[in-house]
């Protein structure tokens, strides 16, 4: 038994999760004096920062105040005085660089970087962000679609594509491939085994009950017609049967079931067991008994209908797996093999799950676990309900060692709340609590916290009224979901410190359309007027689009609002959209759509006057890009756009400044391709935060972990809570591993199968449970006042949030005046006057009008950018004219040459053998690119020859390092690192390729010396042992 105890805490909203973590950390700190052996993981940097701040704040207060020290001593159960707090504060500061308080992502990244060779990586890992991944996916997709000279692989691709797209031929190949990768790549990486994808043996281990019957629809229709007792049928019944028989006779499988035929197939499926017994009854306008002959025909049609729906989806599911397998081969070779990894890749590497796993060797797993296990004695995990299967697998072995420690000197502590599990759609596992609890039994103490230190009694009365209503939840979400929720639920109560505080909660009825609810929201905010009384307020929505629409509306009414959401500076304003067209014309003068758009913008006349057409614009912008990079191009555009887009508008100039910052980073990373920068602008996403003194508007997901005095929920309409997110079914075992995957048929057909019907019910239950979690998080953000604004539940047909509120709260509509405004109130707790309070000791709130001052030029970081080939650096005649005109423009040509060079690993030293080895590399490039690459190889063949002994090769490797106070950011073209038998670097060669003939190395001295310093810092090598080589065409 651990002397510290192993704990798993279910902490409801507002009960003090961060407090629990802070107290645990401080107890361990005072008991052990070894903070570096405590690891605390959470999901966001904000949460990690808050935890870090709370620890230091608590220690600092206790060090300065004996009363605070005494309170800390009571909390951690250890004798503590101010002197001890000061000593431990000093200890933390001294060991700050060794503390392990971070996010899961950061921890996994550090581990992968620490064990690259053990994980089977061919190069040191480099974390890529979403935009870089999107670029890598785009390149891999382009390569997959252009397998020139590889007829067998190309045939394999098209075979898989046709299988994956059964019934979806109306879309373009690239669109469908994009969709498959976006929707299914992560699932494939978790479970790549083809035996799990669309495999009847995995879905129905005892045999698939559906099969091809061989019945011809026309013959079935004729047989039905002969067997029906027409004389006993009413006119309406006869009409329905004839419509069915006509549609059945015209149906030609494998075409989709006609709607009329589907309706009868579903009727027959509902009584299939009775049909097989030869006695059944169905409803066609009214109940009718079927003869044995009709029973036989009905059973045959039901089985045919199910099989015709199921068979294409089995094939399509297997096709998706085959298609992503082909894509992954290319992506793995071009991206992961170079060490370019997403955080998802890193997690899978450590989890031992799926395609990207590097730990399939159990012995290797044990060795790594042993080495990592020695680093940490105490584990603290936050937001445990959001942990995914892969994340848990990555640390489960380490946690297991801690809990089973025979000496009892180690500990495990996790805190979370399965009622706040909002991310099941991206892999979080709400059942992990139960599995971990069952796995460790009595060794793991469990506690439930339900006393809120956030919300007043009236607020919690509404929370308890909705989420404690098990019967209402069962009616709207299903019996199983209600039972699942009830197992976790305990009524919430306010802490004693909040008992005397007034509060108010209410449910106000409004129109079913957006406009009436927005007007009522505005009236409510004006009546409450929280900002002038020093109170904070948030309006929470279900989607970003709804949040943005509310911000626009409320701002138009003069209300100060802030949108805490992801913003898109490259496409959410006219000036940025025009900038993208400006760049597209520069890259492709023949893009008439982009040029037409530019001419239609407010700057159109000036652009025509300046450039006299797209060709002139392209020439001038490319010249500017060569001289000043993308930052210079964007600066030029800002000068052009300012008088046309910025007049009386602070929004567009602010967005343009963000685009300029993106251009600066693009240049610093060595970017030179205009198209690549356009894609980066398109993907550019920045996060805005709520501003004090304004109405905060955001989605419920973004509100998690936050709280306000008042919270308003005006967006509870929508579809059924049981609506599934995915069209593909994933059956998991009790341990969370994938058992089978299938693109499911429509629900009315699939429900006729016991296995598929159960899976659909499970998926709907998960969807409803997750939606309950969303509503719970929304309703538990309020401290003093909670206001729900919705349509009348009596007018709502969908089993949505509004219906749930109606069933749970039993609305009794009546007029209620709040802040001088009259509303129709369906339910309330507390007194409306409580909503008109002011926060004591707090100045009246006001809308803030401020902006950050720009960083002085002298204080900005210095950027030493790689100097890529610029057309202006080349001689005007000769080779430049021949090569550039043969392969688009200079920029594209240089990129193409570097792309080919990046595909070359090692080459034989003999000329004839070298030519043969280069043939696959040259398969898809133009003649001028091939000529340039051959010239570069002839200039320095030794750079491409594999050295004797142990070595490592880098190709097109981006880097960032600090040299003194200068930030050096660039990209190595080719680096050969020689290592001794122990793996230590002993020397290196840095090759920088210049595609112009006779390039003068003296012109690149500063750039090459920067490369030398960067490589020296990156691998710990003496700069004197690093050789620099400029490779120009021979």
Predicted confidence at residue 756, as pLDDT, reads: 94
> Taking the chain (1034 residues) in consecutive chunks of 10 residues, what is each chunk's mean pLDDT?
83 93 96 95 88 93 94 94 94 91 91 82 80 82 69 64 59 70 86 94 93 86 94 94 94 87 94 94 93 94 91 89 88 84 88 56 71 91 90 90 89 94 78 88 91 95 97 95 94 91 93 89 93 92 89 87 78 85 91 90 88 90 88 89 66 78 84 86 75 87 92 92 84 88 90 92 92 96 96 90 95 92 94 65 35 42 37 33 34 74 87 80 77 87 89 86 68 91 89 70 72 87 90 77
In the chain, what are the helix, strand and coil shares in percent, each to the nearest 5? 55, 15, 30
Residue closest to 535 by CA, chosen among 782, 754, 258, 704: 782
Region at 180 (left for phi over 0; alpha for psi -120 to 50; beta for the rest) = alpha
> Hey, do 7-121+349-449 and 457-565+699-836 end up sharing a CATH topology, with the first three levels equal?
yes
DSSP alpha helix (H) spans, 494-573: 514-528, 544-556
Answer whether 623's CB lies under 8 Å from 543's CB: no
**What kind of architecture, by CATH, is found in domain 457-565+699-836?**
3-Layer(aba) Sandwich (3.40)
Residue 177 Cα distances to 11, 137, 148, 787, angstroms: 43, 11, 19, 45
Residue 309, φ and ψ in degrees, nearest 5: -80, -35
Vertex 772: Cα angle to 15 and 694 (nearest 5): 65
Predicted confidence at residue 332, as pLDDT, reads: 86
254 preceded by cis ω (within 30°)? yes
- The C-alpha atoms of residue 100 and residue 1024 are separated, in whole angstroms, by 36
Between helix 259-270 and helix 235-250 the angle, nearest 10°, is: 110
Q: Cβ of 905: how many Cβ atoms within 10 Å?
A: 11
> Residue 217's Cα: distance from chain center in Å?
46
Specify the length of the chain in residues.
1034
Answer whether 40's CB lies under 8 Å from 100's CB: yes
Residues 6+ apart with CB under 8 A from 1033: 879, 932, 935, 936, 939, 994, 995, 996, 997, 998
3-state class (DSSP) for residue 656: helix
State pLDDT tens for residues 415-471. Answer: 999 999 888 777 777 788 888 988 898 899 999 999 999 999 999 999 999 999 999
- The C-alpha atoms of residue 863 and residue 631 are separated, in whole angstroms, by 13
Which neighbouring-strand residues pair with 743? 728
- The C-alpha atoms of residue 524 and residue 713 are separated, in whole angstroms, by 11
Answer whether 731's CB lies under 8 Å from 382's CB: no
Give the CATH number of domain 7-121+349-449: 3.40.50.300
Residue 509, φ and ψ in degrees, nearest 5: -95, 140
Vertex 396: Cα angle to 393 and 399 (nearest 5): 160
Which neighbouring-strand residues pair with 448? 10
Gap between the terminal Cα atoms of the chain = 73
Residue closest to 258 by CA, chosen among 305, 211, 312: 305
Answer whether 24's CB lies under 8 Å from 82's CB: no
3-state class (DSSP) for residue 535: coil
Which neighbouring-strand residues pair with 100? 39
Predicted confidence at residue 165, as pLDDT, reads: 66
Predicted confidence at residue 484, as pLDDT, reads: 93
Predicted confidence at residue 157, as pLDDT, reads: 65
- The C-alpha atoms of residue 352 and residue 391 are separated, in whole angstroms, by 10
Residue closest to 750 by CA, chosen among 74, 265, 201, 146: 265
Residue 203 Cα distances to 730, 743, 752, 952, angstroms: 10, 12, 15, 46
DSSP code, position 361: S
Residue closest to 249 by CA, chosen among 265, 269, 225, 231: 225
- The C-alpha atoms of residue 502 and residue 467 are separated, in whole angstroms, by 22
Residue 752 Cα distances to 189, 258, 295, 738, 760, angstroms: 31, 18, 16, 23, 11
Predicted confidence at residue 11, as pLDDT, reads: 94
Answer whether 957's CB lies under 8 Å from 971's CB: yes
DSSP alpha helix (H) spans, 228-258: 235-250
Residue 968, φ and ψ in degrees, nearest 5: -105, 125
Q: Cβ of 962: how many Cβ atoms within 10 Å?
A: 11
- The C-alpha atoms of residue 910 and residue 912 are separated, in whole angstroms, by 6
Which neighbouring-strand residues pair with 538? 696, 711
The residue ranges of every structural domain in the chain are: 7-121+349-449, 131-338, 457-565+699-836, 567-687, 862-1033
- The C-alpha atoms of residue 338 and residue 902 are separated, in whole angstroms, by 11
- The C-alpha atoms of residue 7 and residue 73 are separated, in whole angstroms, by 20
Predicted confidence at residue 830, as pLDDT, reads: 92
């Amino acid at each position: 038994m651990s002397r510290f105890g192993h704990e798993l805490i279910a902490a409801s909203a507002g009960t003090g999760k961060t407090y629990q973590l802070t107290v645990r950390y401080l107890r361990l700190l005072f008991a052990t004096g070894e903070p570096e052996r405590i690891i605390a993981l959470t999901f966001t940097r904000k949460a990690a920062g808050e935890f870090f701040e709370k620890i230091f704040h608590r220690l600092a207060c206790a060090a300065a105040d004996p009363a605070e020290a005494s309170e800390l001593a009571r909390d951690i159960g250890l004798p503590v005085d101010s002197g001890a707090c000061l000593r431990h504060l000093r200890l933390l500061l001294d060991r700050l660089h060794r503390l392990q308080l971070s996010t899961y992502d950061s921890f996994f990244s550090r581990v992968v970087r620490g064990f690259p060779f053990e994980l089977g990586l061919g190069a040191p890992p480099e974390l890529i962000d979403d935009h870089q991944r999107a670029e890598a996916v785009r390149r891999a997709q382009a390569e997959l679609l252009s397998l020139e000279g590889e007829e067998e692989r190309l045939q394999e691709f098209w075979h898989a594509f046709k299988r994956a797209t059964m019934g979806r031929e109306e879309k373009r190949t690239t669109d469908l491939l994009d969709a498959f990768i976006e929707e299914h790549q992560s699932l494939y990486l978790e479970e790549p085994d083809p035996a799990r994808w669309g495999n009847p043996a995995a879905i129905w281990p005892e045999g698939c009950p559906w099969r091809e019957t061989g019945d011809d629809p026309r013959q079935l229709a004729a047989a039905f017609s002969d067997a029906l007792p027409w004389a006993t049928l009413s006119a309406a019944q006869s009409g329905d049967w004839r419509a069915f028989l006509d549609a059945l006779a015209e149906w030609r499988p494998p075409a989709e079931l006609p709607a009329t035929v589907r309706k009868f197939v579903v009727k027959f499926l509902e009584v299939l067991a009775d049909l097989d017994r030869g006695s059944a009854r169905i409803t066609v306008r009214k109940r009718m008994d079927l003869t044995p002959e009709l029973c036989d025909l009905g059973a045959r049609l039901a089985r045919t209908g199910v099989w015709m729906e199921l068979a294409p989806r089995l094939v399509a599911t297997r096709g998706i797996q085959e298609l992503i397998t082909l894509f992954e081969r290319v992506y793995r070779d071009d991206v992961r093999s170079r060490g370019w990894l997403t955080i998802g890749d890193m997690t899978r590497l450590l989890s031992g799950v799926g395609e990207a796993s590097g730990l399939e060797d159990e012995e290797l797993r044990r060795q790594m676990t042993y080495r990592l296990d020695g680093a940490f004695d105490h584990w603290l995990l936050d937001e445990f309900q959001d942990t995914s299967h892969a994340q848990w697998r990555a640390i489960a072995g380490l946690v297991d060692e801690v809990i089973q420690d025979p000496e009892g000197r180690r500990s495990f502590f996790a805190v979370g709340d399965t009622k706040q599990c909002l991310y099941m759609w991206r892999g979080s596992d709400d059942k992990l609590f139960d599995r971990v609890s069952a796995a460790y039994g009595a060794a793991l103490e469990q506690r439930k916290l339900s006393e809120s230190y956030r919300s007043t009694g009236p607020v919690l009365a509404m929370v308890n009224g909705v989420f404690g209503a098990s019967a209402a939840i069962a009616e709207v979400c299903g019996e199983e979901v209600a039972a699942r929720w009830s197992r976790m639920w305990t009524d919430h109560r306010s802490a004693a410190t909040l008992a005397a505080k007034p509060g108010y909660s209410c449910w106000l009825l409004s129109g079913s359309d957006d406009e009436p609810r927005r007007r009522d929201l505005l009236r409510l905010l004006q009546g409450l007027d929280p900002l002038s009384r020093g109170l904070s307020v948030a309006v929470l929505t279900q989607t970003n689009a709804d949040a943005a629409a509310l911000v626009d509306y409320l701002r138009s009414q003069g209300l100060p609002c802030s949108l805490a959401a992801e913003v898109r500076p490259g496409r959410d304003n006219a000036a940025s959209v025009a900038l993208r067209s400006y760049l597209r014309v520069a890259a492709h003068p023949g893009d008439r759509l982009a040029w037409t758009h530019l001419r239609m913008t407010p700057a159109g006349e000036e652009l025509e006057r300046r450039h006299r057409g797209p060709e002139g614009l392209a020439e001038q912008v490319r010249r500017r890009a060569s001289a000043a990079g993308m930052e210079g191009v964007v600066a030029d555009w800002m000068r052009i756009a300012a008088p046309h887009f910025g007049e009386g508008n602070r929004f567009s100039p602010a967005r343009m400044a963000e685009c300029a910052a993106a251009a600066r980073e693009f240049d610093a990373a060595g970017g030179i391709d205009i198209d690549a920068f356009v894609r980066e602008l398109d993907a550019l996403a920045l996060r805005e935060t709520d501003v004090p003194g304004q109405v905060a508007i955001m989605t419920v997901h973004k509100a998690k972990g936050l709280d306000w005095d008042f919270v308003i929920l005006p967006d509870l309409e929508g579809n059924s809570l049981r609506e599934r997110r995915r069209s593909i079914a994933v059956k998991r075992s009790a341990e969370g591993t994938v058992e089978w995957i299938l693109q499911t048929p429509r629900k009315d057909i699939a429900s006729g199968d016991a296995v598929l019907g159960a899976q659909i019910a499970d998926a709907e239950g998960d969807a409803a449970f997750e939606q309950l979690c969303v509503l719970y998080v929304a309703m538990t953000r309020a401290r003093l006042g909670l206001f729900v604004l919705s349509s009348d539940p009596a007018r709502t047909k969908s089993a949505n949030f509004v219906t749930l509120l109606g069933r749970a709260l039993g609305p009794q509509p009546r007029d209620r005046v709040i802040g001088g405004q009259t509303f129709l109130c369906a339910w309330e707790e507390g007194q409306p006057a409580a909503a008109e309070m002011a926060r004591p000791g707090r100045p009246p709130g006001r809308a803030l009008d401020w902006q950050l001052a720009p960083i002085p030029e002298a204080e900005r970081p210095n950027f030493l950018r790689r100097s890529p080939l610029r057309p202006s650096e080349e001689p005007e005649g000769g080779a430049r004219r021949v090569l550039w005109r043969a392969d688009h423009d200079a920029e594209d040509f240089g990129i193409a040459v570097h792309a080919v060079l990046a595909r070359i690993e090692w080459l034989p030293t003999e000329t004839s053998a070298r030519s043969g080895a280069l043939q696959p590399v040259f398969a898809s490039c133009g003649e001028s690119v091939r000529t340039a690459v051959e010239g570069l190889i002839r200039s320095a063949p030794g750079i491409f020859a594999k050295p004797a002994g142990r070595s490592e090769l880098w190709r097109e490797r981006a880097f960032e390092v600090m040299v003194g106070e200068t930030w050096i950011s660039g990209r190595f073209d080719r680096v050969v690192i020689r290592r001794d038998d122990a793996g230590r670097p002993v020397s290196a060669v840095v090759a920088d390729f210049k595609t112009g003939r006779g390039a003068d190395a003296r012109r690149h001295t500063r750039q090459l010396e920067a490369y030398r310093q960067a490589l020296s810092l990156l691998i710990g090598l003496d700069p004197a042992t690093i050789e620099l080589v400029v490779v120009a065409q021979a």
